[in-house]
Amino acid sequence: MASPTTPEGRSVRAEAKEMGRFKEKKKLVFMCFLVDQRRTTRSSKPAAGICSRCGACARVADMRTTTRFCYVPVYRKTWRAIICTFCGALLKSYNR
């Protein structure tokens, strides 16, 4: 017995070349937080020591770092540091 065959004369070329440019959409994220941190020197007195950078006199200063969030102080830290009077370099800091 001879079963009838149906020959398929299709030559399928699979060209899967994707030349499309892959675009990445980068979302710009704006940080809307209004965080402000300022360092103020409360009081300073001369200390025995010179600056390692410029050689000027060093001072012991009571520093205060105030972190503000939307102009409301949320964190306050008082610390002591030895700073230079001439170049303002922070020579040493004592964290209490």
Among 81, 82, 83, 84, binds Zn ion (CB under 5 A): 84
Q: How would you class 47 by CB atoms within 10 Å of its CB: exposed for 0-12, middle for 13-18, buried for 19 or more?
A: middle
Question: How far apart are CB 90 and Zn ion at their closest, in Å?
Answer: 10
x-or-dash string of contact with Zn ion, 48-77, rule CB under 5 A: ---x-xx-x---------------------
Question: How far apart are CB 36 and Zn ion at their closest, in Å?
Answer: 27
Give CA–CA dist 22/61, Å, rounded.
56
86 binds Zn ion (CB under 5 A): yes
Other beta carbons within 10 Å of 82: 19
Among 87, 90, 93, 94, binds Zn ion (CB under 5 A): 87
- Distances in whole angstroms, Cα of residue 40 to Cα of each of 7, 28, 63: 90, 34, 6
Binding site for Zn ion (CB under 5 A): 51, 53-54, 56, 84, 86-87, 89
